[in-house]
Amino acid sequence: MESLILGSSDIIRVVRHVGLDRLMDEAIDAIEHVCMHYDPVRHQVPARAGFAYNDPHPGLLEWMPAMQLNDKVVVKLVGYHPHNPGTHRLPTILSTVLSFDTASGHLLSVTDGTFLTSLRTGAASAVASKVLALPDSKVVGFVGCGAQAITQLHALSRAFEIERILLFDLDRSVSDSFKSRTAAMGLEHLPFEILNMQEVVGRAEILCTATSISTGRGPLFEIDNTRSNVHVNAIGSDFPGKTELPLSLLENSLVCPDFTDQALVEGECQQLSVDSIGPDLVTLIKEAGSYHRYRQAKTVFDSTGWALEDYVVSEVLVNFAREYECGSSVALECNSADPGNPYGFLQDNAVDRTKDEPGLAAATQSLKRTRLG
């Protein structure tokens, strides 16, 4: 039984065949679809758990499992190491996704989760924004212009006719490089304005906060000068004690978490009582019509990252990979023709492989000799 391995170069091939725009569109559709059809018995998504540590740098390694009954278990392993860009020239977020067949526990695929995490985090914001932001929103603002902001903009650009992009980052080189990093999106004709934070916050019709603010150091800004009908995608709050938005803004907004139990622990919802939290993403999508009136009001999507988003977006990637024959098939699991013999694969596979590998043929003979005494 083989497993599909989908690494970086395979995902390049998938993107070559499918295109980034269609991939994002499919990710948005997949998240909308699973929310619309979400069933608490069929879909099981425990709150994520993980290890947090400060040695050698602050870091977090988490597992995010999700199951669709009678189909697959998908487990995303994801690291959050804010020193990575400076220390290792690696992204803050690195991730791998495994999917398993619930019929047998067989590993179906191992895929990169780094690109997937960016993609689905953008897509989820687009899904929420389509319900909660004014459909003719044209001005998108970013506080925090790092990696996550790129796919936020890409996803929003698939759902809104963006005409103006407002940028603030504590590190001026990051806001300066933002436009060049969005080169794949066909937005280069638009004005990208670098402003101070309060100007971005005050002028954006859709605001995205995606910073690495330290725990206990929030909010990003004290004065809520957002527009009366702003929609905010709050991305950065994803750890106990880490929040970005001022309480006054949350209290004057309809706050929709992706996953309420998790948002209460890690998201902006940490600042709220359960009673004052709005619908979760599933409810928002299932009952979208009844929430459209909030487009006239302040709204916040509290995005902590939901394992079922990873489940469905990894399916999008894997399905395209299979369609276009990207990736490699590897017999990862040592399973024997005789399931009662955990050492049986040493004989089975060795014999299989002797066809093309004379060195191994000799070794197999030697194994056999050992076995036969």
Task: Provide the minimum distance between the beta carbon of 47 and its own copies in the complex, in angstroms, as a whole number.
Answer: 10
When the beta carbons of 9 and 319 are compared against its own copies, the nearer one is 9
The nearest distance, CB 276 to its own copies, in angstroms, is 30
User: Of the two residues 88 and 292, which places its CB atom closer to its own copies in the complex?
Assistant: 88
Strands 328-330 and 3-6: what pairing? antiparallel
Nearer to its own copies, 225 or 319 (CB): 319
C-alpha–C-alpha distance, residues 18 and 178, integer Å: 24
Question: Smallest gap, in angstroms, from Cβ of residue 66 to its own copies?
Answer: 9
Residue whose structure tokens are 């996953």: 259
In the complex with its own copies, the residue whose CB is nearer, 184 or 223, is: 184
Pair 107, 332: CB distance under 8 Å: yes
> What is the Cα 94 distance to its own chain's centre?
11
Residue 304 near residue 258 (C-beta atoms within 8 A): yes
Of 55, 58, 46, the closest CA to residue 241 belongs to 58
For the bound state, the minimum distance from the C-beta of residue 185 to its own copies, rounded and expressed in Å, comes to 9
Please answer whether residues 156 and 129 qualify as being in contact, where contact means their C-beta atoms are separated by less than 8 angstroms: yes
User: Closest separation between CB of residue 320 and its own copies, Å?
Assistant: 15
Residue with structure tokens 């895929």? 111
Of 229, 304, 302, the residue nearest 272 (C-alpha): 302
Place of tokens 């019709």: 205
- Pick 13 or 227: Cβ nearer its own copies: 13
Q: Nearest 10 degrees: CA dihedral of 320, 324, 329, 333?
A: 20
* Residue with smaller CB distance to its own copies, 54 or 228: 54
- Give the chain's end-to-end CA distance (angstroms, integer): 31
How would DSSP label each residue in 54-71? -SSS-EEEEEEEEEETTT
Q: Which is nearer to its own copies, 118 or 237 (CB)?
A: 118
For the bound state, the minimum distance from the C-beta of residue 126 to its own copies, rounded and expressed in Å, comes to: 15
Q: Which is nearer to its own copies, 61 or 288 (CB)?
A: 61
288: Cβ–Cβ under 8 A, 6 or more apart, which residues? Answer: 131
- How far apart are CB 103 and its own copies at their closest, in Å? 5
User: Smallest distance from the beta carbon of 27 to its own copies, in angstroms?
Assistant: 13
Identity of residue 1: M
Instruction: Tally DSSP H helices, then E strands, for the chain.
Output: 15, 15
